[in-house]
């Protein structure tokens, strides 16, 4: 899973745990989703009264708590004719739009979108400043399906990709992909473990934890060595692209479902 998605996911789940009165400790700079960031900040509402700007996630959570807010994550396709989301996902601020929506009783929803910028020296560990800009909500959100429907489609797609690799992608050219897809598929059948996460243990339902583990194992997009970067060719190209696109869309849907399983409303 790319860093931007992982961070947005963590902010929504940890934020919801905090907003529901649970002890989350601190979502600090050494958290896995923040470890390469110099700063993670949030723009405030335009005008007053409203939510002011925040210089870190904990301050943002506290301001949302004052409004009895709950958080949702939305992954919205860009539909850019010049470059598909699957191809732009390897670039900073590429791929689908990540929108965090805050819902408070009696108020219009508010949305934030991350913008990643390199502000540190490239030989340093923490090179990124992430600003969550206040943005308008789209006219409609993508459909949200139940876990079981997403899982069923993910099982078929991962099994199809594993079989496709065995048949069409030479292991000497791109080794390890068949095992990668089979491991992701197996994660859906294994009982959820006690993986260390930024949010409280047991906060997410078991089906969400299984789906998240499979989504992380099946995330093969976003870098020069990603699955969709030359792992197959010739007559198998159309089939490989079709299965890759289906997996890409399902992973976004899975992440959204996992994050939003932490939302309880107000």
CB 144 within 8 A of CB 260: yes
73 close to 260: Cβ distance less than 8 angstroms: yes
pTM score, whole prediction: 0.91
Among 48, 45, 135, smallest CA distance to 93 is for 135
Question: Is 113 in contact with 98 (CB distance < 8 Å)?
Answer: yes
Q: How far is CA 153 from the centre of its chain?
A: 18
- Per-residue model confidence (pLDDT) at position 138: 81
Cβ burial of 251 (10 Å; 0-12, 13-18, 19+) is buried
The pLDDT score that the predictor gives to residue 116 is 92
Provide block-wise average pLDDT over 10 residues at a time, the chain (266 residues). 90 94 77 86 79 89 93 91 84 89 90 92 85 88 88 96 82 74 91 73 89 91 68 76 92 95 82
What pLDDT was estimated at residue 241? Answer: 86
> Looking at residue 193, what is its pLDDT?
66
Q: Where are the alpha helices (DSSP H) in 169-263?
A: 177-187, 206-217, 237-260
pLDDT at 121: 83
Q: Take residue 186 and report the two structure tokens written for it.
A: 């197996």
Position 50 scores a pLDDT of 75
- Cβ pair 1, 226 in contact under 8 A: no
Residue 103, classed as helix, strand or coil, is strand
| Nearest CA among 23, 112, 24, 108 for reference residue 67 | 108
Among candidate residues 75, 56, 52, 60, the one with its CA nearest the CA of residue 5:
75
């Amino acid at each position: 899973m790319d860093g931007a998605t992982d961070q947005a996911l963590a902010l929504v789940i940890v934020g919801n745990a905090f907003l529901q009165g649970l002890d989350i400790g601190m979502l600090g700079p050494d958290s896995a989703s923040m470890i390469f960031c110099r700063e993670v900040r949030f723009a405030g509402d335009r005008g007053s009264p409203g939510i002011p700007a925040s210089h870190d996630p904990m301050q943002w959570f506290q301001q949302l708590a004052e409004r009895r807010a709950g958080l949702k994550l939305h992954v919205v396709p860009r539909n850019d004719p010049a470059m598909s989301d699957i191809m732009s996902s390897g670039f900073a601020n590429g791929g689908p739009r990540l929108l965090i929506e805050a819902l408070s009783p009696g108020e219009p929803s508010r949305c934030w979108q991350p913008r990643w910028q390199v502000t540190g020296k490239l030989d340093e560990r923490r090179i990124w400043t992430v600003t969550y800009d206040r943005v308008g909500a789209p006219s409609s959100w993508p459909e949200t399906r139940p876990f079981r429907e997403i899982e069923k489609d993910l099982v078929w797609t991962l099994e199809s990709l594993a079989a496709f690799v065995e048949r069409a992608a030479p292991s000497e050219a791109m080794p390890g992909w068949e095992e990668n897809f089979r491991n992701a598929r197996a994660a859906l059948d294994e009982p959820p473990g006690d993986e260390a996460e930024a949010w409280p243990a047991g906060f997410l339902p078991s089906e969400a934890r299984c789906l998240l583990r499979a989504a992380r194992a099946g995330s093969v997009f976003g870098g020069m060595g990603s699955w969709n970067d030359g792992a197959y060719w010739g007559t198998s190209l159309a089939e490989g692209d079709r299965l890759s696109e289906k997996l890409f869309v399902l992973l976004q849907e899975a992440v959204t479902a996992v994050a939003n399983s932490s939302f309880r409303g107000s």
